[in-house]
Chain A
Amino acid sequence: MAIKLSVIDRTKLFIRDTNRWSLLTVAIVCIICIPLFTIIGNLSGGVGEMWSHVAEYLLIDYLSNSFVLLIGTGILALLFGVPAAWFISNYDFPFRNALNWLLYIPLAIPSYIMSYAYVGMFGHGGSLEKLGNALGFGGFNISMMNIWGLMFVLSISLYPYVFASSRVMFSSASGSIKESAELLGISHKRYFWKIALPVASPAIFGGLFLVLMEVLNDYGAAKYYGINTFTTGIFRTWTALEDLQTAIYLAFILVVLVLILMSINKAIRGRKSYVTPDLAQTDIQRRKPIGSFQKVGIPIICALPFVLGFLLPVLQLGYWATFHLHEQLSTDFLWISTQSLFIAVIASLITVSVTVMLVFFPKWSPQKFTKSLIKLSTVGYIIPGAVIGITLVASSGFFVRSFNDWFGLEIGYLIYSGLFLLLFAYLFRFLAVAYNPIEAHSLRVGSNLAESAYMLGKSRIRTLFNIELPLLKSSLVSGFLIVFIDVMKELPLTLLLKPYQLQTLAIKAYEYADDERVSEAAITSLILILIVCATMFIVTKLSNDQK
């Protein structure tokens, strides 16, 4: 039976339960969500001058291209990711262990770098054509600079999201369910279609959702291939048409598109339970040996995404790098790498620190609404970088004008010439990346240890530093490194919000390609890939240790 409380009693309880941690949580969430408030606030300001032009001539193009890209990239990512995950989880074959790790590596190559490499390989005058001529087969090339080329490049660089989520589900399938199916005489093929795939489908769609978010976020590859998507449209509306208001309207449409995708993902997951007992037994004990025909077929199917998604692009980049090794390996290059690393480290530190606050402050507040408020601050990951960039340009403009009008203070140079805006943008975009593993780990650790420290007279802050953070060390480091990887690879936000003097490896690679000096982007790209690969290796090791 519910307790009936008068309004006065409720108000009293509300005041009693509102402590400094509730107020701090609200303040942090409000600050982080400035980009969201900006979109909503600017919608009421009406459309910009160029809206009719954009709506009449470009919007259909943005919509149709984005739609075709989403569908095509999604299907290809499923085709690259799901079969490989199935075979690796259920069969024993040569190089299985190596491929198990190698299939994640394409994530280390940003899609814009992948797009340069593929044009260099298959495009007109590319490596394939040169090789054909050298071997006497004649020139041969594949036109990559179209929507199909972009679709392929995006899918081969993003399929690891699908692979990772399918792999977890396929390898954790209950051994007893599998054995029951065998005893019922169900073939392995039928087991895949009727049981394994339906059970894994929510996780697979979860991975697919991340792929689609990245497709909408992509700027570099679409721009290089000359395909008009929402993200390139937002950039163009602001930079070429100089209409910020219309750019924000486009951003709003893009956010609506993301929300629709999110609802579809949620509807597919539904309320069914797909958790099976007897976790991970199958992966070790029940993998099947394969026949002679499959001995060739399965390794090829599994190796193909790695070859296309990593080996070939890296070979192409390596080939280009040999031409520019001496001219590029200079102090300038070292300085750019240092800036890249510095900004990624600072952004990761800030993101992990804010994450810790957002994980713990609501726990220290008896107010329940603070816990649901946190979800709002982690939506940045599903909002494309271009949208965040544009909204931050708009909101910072508002602050700069307000300070000038109200207090006569000119703070523009502080905002635009420093790193503040860019670091804030990274925080908003990548907060969920750090929040999810740290929150999950803290839930696993539970509240009893902290509560028992409180009962021993320790304050919340002392308990946090003496008990909770030491126990969360591995997830804090993982969260830091995952944000680090994302910031190192990030392009659209950095491009929009970086101070004039700042150079990062990602920006430098993009600038070379934008200047039609794509081969010169190779060394920068390879260094970036190397750093990301090494970091991914540490993250994998840490997560294995945690298990």
Chain B
Amino acid sequence: MTKNNAPILEVSGLTKSFDQTERALHGVDYQLKAGKVCAVVGESGCGKTTLLRLIAGLEVPEQGSIQIDGEVVSSTSISKPAHKRKVGMVFQDYALFPHLTVEENIRFGVSKSEIESADKLIKLIKLSGKEKKYPHELSSGQKQRVAIARTLAVKPDLLLLDEPFSNLDLITKSTLRKEIRKIAKLLSISVMFVTHDIYDAIDIADEVVFLQNGELLLSCDTSDLLNQDEEKVRMYLEQIQTQARHLLSLKGNG
């Protein structure tokens, strides 16, 4: 179990290229403290998803290392398989098993003794009554909930979400943002999610990481975001500054 304020995730000098020519990530250093929610923000193709896939163990880095809960899971000499890292990941397209029902999807990763707690998640994530449905019979928001419940059912140390709100309408998106934060805090789980929308980051993250062309531009607490001097981040924020201030003030008042 991770001690308070100890990093659940530590990446250092993480470098990854595809086809030996184009660098997807270069020398990324970052620490995520236990229980925190972190948003990885950046434009398309900046390496956000690659960072997540490296942490999950779905890709291997060329340089650098990854530690999860104090254990080195990836370096130039070690690569622990994805299924042994105790990391959960929700994919952008949800990746629900089409031949299994909602209930079977959620129970898929758990042992028989844990089925009961997995079933509780169905209620928690507001899927009661949908247990026997197949993925194709659900809306995008419901599919996203199933994907999250399924990942939480295996009690990961770290939850990774790849563009979790990209396929949702505004209302569902807003509801789900709140619920993800609530569940993360309720279950004391560390979360790292990728988004290209700064709203998502401000609304639910404790920390924000900016990536640009595969390099880490900045990482800071969400509350410090507007005080940053970094020009590129400012440019990024200028477009939505008014709305961001409004949102932050609402969050502060709440």
Contact = CB atoms under 8 A, between A and B. Distances in A.
Interface in B4-50: 15, 17, 20-23
A16 interface: yes
B60 A459 contact: no
A369 B71 CA distance: 30
A3 B23 contact: yes
A329 to B, nearest CB: 45
Contact of A3 (B63, B81, B87, B99): B63
B107 to A, nearest CB: 10
A502 B17 CA distance: 55
A456 B20 contact: no
A454 interface: yes
Given A1-B23, A13-B62, A456-B154, A449 B97 contact: yes
A5 B20 CA distance: 10
B56 A455 contact: yes
Given A15-B77, A17-B79, A457 B15 contact: no
Interface in A1-54: 1-3, 5, 9, 12-13, 15-17
Contacts of A241: none
A448 interface: yes
Contacts of A400: none
Contacts of B141: none
Contact of A16 (B78, B87, B93): B78
A449 B83 contact: no
A453 B60 CA distance: 18
A16 B76 CA distance: 7
B145 interface: no
Given A448-B91, A451-B95, A17 B60 contact: yes
A467 B84 CA distance: 18
Interface residues of B, number: 38
B75 to A, nearest CB: 8
B88 interface: yes
A366 interface: yes
A286 to B, nearest CB: 30
Nearest to B60: A366
Contacts of B81: 454, 459-460
A454 B99 contact: no
B98 interface: yes
B93 A448 contact: yes
A470 B109 contact: no
B194 interface: no
A296 interface: no
Contact of B62 (A3, A451, A471): A3
A15 to B, nearest CB: 7
A467 B134 CA distance: 15
A458 interface: yes
Residue from B17, B91, B93, B154 whose CB has the most chain A CB atoms within 10 Å: B91
A457 B60 contact: no
B93 A456 contact: no
Contacts of A454: 57-58, 81-83
Interface in B208-244: none
B98 A457 contact: no
Contacts of A12: 76-77
A16 to B, nearest CB: 6
A5 B15 CA distance: 11
A252 B47 CA distance: 49
Given A2-B20, A2-B21, A366-B60, A457 B93 contact: no
B151 interface: yes
B17 to A, nearest CB: 5
A5 B61 CA distance: 12
Contact of A458 (B56, B79, B109, B151): B109
Residue from A2, A454, A455, A458 whose CB has the most chain B CB atoms within 10 Å: A455
Nearest to B17: A3
Contacts of B108: 453, 456, 458, 466
B201 interface: no
A456 B63 contact: no
B60 A451 contact: no
A12 B151 CA distance: 33
Contacts of A455: 56, 82-83, 87-89, 151, 156
10 contacts: A5-B63, A16-B60, A448-B93, A451-B58, A451-B82, A452-B95, A452-B150, A455-B89, A456-B154, A457-B84
- Sort A-B residue pairs by CB-CB distance and give the 6 closest, nearest first: A456-B109, A452-B95, A448-B95, A454-B82, A455-B89, A454-B83
Given A2-B20, A460-B81, 19 more contacts: A1-B22, A3-B62, A12-B76, A12-B77, A16-B78, A366-B79, A451-B89, A451-B91, A452-B91, A453-B97, A454-B58, A454-B81, A455-B83, A455-B87, A456-B83, A456-B109, A456-B153, A457-B84, A459-B81
